[in-house]
Structure 1
Amino acid sequence: MRKTLFLAALLAATPFAASADELSYTYVEGGLTQVRVNDDFLNDPHANGGYVRGSFAIAEQVNVFGGYSQASKSQRVYGTRVKYEVGQPELGIGYHMNMSDRVDFTADIAVLRLNVEAKISGTPGYTGETIKDHTTAGRATLGVRGKPSARTEAWLKAGVIDGSDIDSEFVGVLGGQVKFNKTWGLVAEVQMLQDVTQYSAGVRASF
């Protein structure tokens, strides 16, 4: 009797054990982000903020994704307070294909908008001014996503970004996740674009 119950429990748990190793393309995540600009003249400025993003599998090998990040920095220049804000919404679609039991090939395209705002204030006798600018660009990347172990994931993507005010530039993304269980995990990612590097770290819930 005990042996029969043990075999039944083992068979019931088998589908879950197999699905636990699969890469999920439906998730939501959020956390902190930092944008760094490699510019010696400006003393390598950086801005801190937060981000949210998500992905939803609409077919066996296709997913849609989107997100928004915002970072800001305040500083004083000759007694005048200047606050910079950089916001970036994006929306895209991705494709993935199994290369092995633990590795997927990935491809995605996305449209993103870069919003930049500078608020100038703090000068006696000056009411202040807000300067805004934006640009829209497209991004396409190819990469791989895999599971080095049962509790970890890693991904690497490379491609190009091009827009109305952005010449075609290389973009690279390196990221990883450490999972606590089937749903929750900690994620970290680095995105490199010319002289701009964006670091992100947060919590992801996969479904």
Structure 2
Amino acid sequence: MRKILIVAALLAAAPLSAAAADGLSYTYVEGGWTRLKLDNDMGSKPELDGGYLRGSFALAENVNVFGGYTTVSKSYNYTFYNLRGHIKQTLKQPELGIGYHMPMSDRVDFTSDIAWVRLNEEFKLSYDGQYADRLKDHINAGRVTVGLRGKPSPRTEAWIKAGYIDGSDMDGEWVGTLGGQVNFTRTWGLTGEVQAYDGATQFSLGVRASF
């Protein structure tokens, strides 16, 4: 929480008189690696690895639509009555939303968004290499966030968001996001992001192309 407050303060304090770099783009595509760390009630903390793809498109000066798809998985091996058991856990998360942004200074935008999120979970069971069973479940949820997005320097960008997520078969939870980007060119950049809510922390590292 302390790091989030520090980043927010730095963004808000960016001087109005500073020479503005290339403007913040709300039209981009991005993809890369992601890891989801779960903190289960049973005390285990599995880490699932995978990839993600997301993008945004500016509909108007202050409005953009966005979407994304994330998939992560983990395999577990065990022995049951001399049978070699295998379980593959997979989590898939598509999302679709709309955002609004408003300049606060030459370097900082206020942002807000609302999104539909679907959480799909699947377990595939097999014994000695033979398929045995499959268990599936899903949750539909809505997420609302507000935050700041800005450029601390001409080749860097940072954002911070906080909000709330709630849906079917889940308790409402507060969610926070902290991320940043280093630009190699006007189009290409390397991004990193951490998103956390009760019982889950997601780390992402990817490449973004802004237009």
TM range (shorter): 0.7 to 0.9
Cα distance per residue 1:127-156 (max 9 Å; x no partner):
411111111000000000000000000000
Residue 86 of structure 2 corresponds to: 81
Alignment of 1:154 onto 2:158 = yes
Change (3 A) 1:158 1:104: same
Q: The residue matched to 1:43 in structure 2 has which SS?
A: coil
Give me the whole-angstrom Cα distance separating, in 2, the residues matched to 1:133 and 1:40. 18
Give me the whole-angstrom Cα distance separating, in 2, the residues matched to 1:66 and 1:40. 30
Residue 185 of structure 2 corresponds to: 181
Identity %: 61
Alignment of 1:191 onto 2:195 = yes
Residue 204 of structure 1 corresponds to: 208
Alignment of 1:91 onto 2:92 = no
TM-superposed CA distance for 1:122, in Å, is 2.1
Residue 48 of structure 1 corresponds to: 49
Q: Which runs of 5+ in 1 are unaligned?
A: 1-17
Q: The residue matched to 2:54 in structure 1 has which SS?
A: strand
Q: Which has the higher contact order (CA 8 A, sep 6+)?
A: 2
Q: Which moved more, 1:35-44 or 1:101-110?
A: 35-44
* Contact 1:121/1:128 (<8 A) preserved: yes
Give me the whole-angstrom Cα distance separating, in 1, the residues matched to 2:144 and 2:120. 20
Alignment of 1:65 onto 2:69 = no
Q: The residue matched to 2:97 in structure 1 has which SS?
A: strand
Give me the whole-angstrom Cα distance separating, in 2, the residues matched to 1:19 and 1:114. 39
* Contact 1:106/1:143 (<8 A) preserved: yes
Report the TM-score, using the length of structure 2 for normalisation: 0.86
Task: Write the letter of the residue equivalent to 1:50.
Answer: G
TM-superposed CA distance for 1:193, in Å, is 1.2
Give me the whole-angstrom Cα distance separating, in 2, the residues matched to 1:42 and 1:32. 26
* Contact 2:21/2:153 (<8 A) preserved: no
Task: Write the letter of the residue equivalent to 1:71.
Answer: V
Q: The residue matched to 1:138 in structure 2 has which SS?
A: strand
Report the TM-score, using the length of structure 1 for normalisation: 0.87
Give me the whole-angstrom Cα distance separating, in 2, the residues matched to 1:31 and 1:127. 31
Q: The residue matched to 1:168 in structure 2 has which SS?
A: strand
TM-superposed CA distance for 1:101, in Å, is 0.4
Number of residues paired by the alignment? 189
Give me the whole-angstrom Cα distance separating, in 2, the residues matched to 1:131 and 1:39. 18
Task: Write the letter of the residue equivalent to 2:56.
Answer: S
Residue 111 of structure 1 corresponds to: 116
Q: Identify the match of residue 173 of structure 2 among 169, 176, 181.
A: 169
Aligned-CA RMSD value: 1.6
* Contact 1:20/1:182 (<8 A) preserved: no
Give me the whole-angstrom Cα distance separating, in 2, the residues matched to 1:71 and 1:173. 19
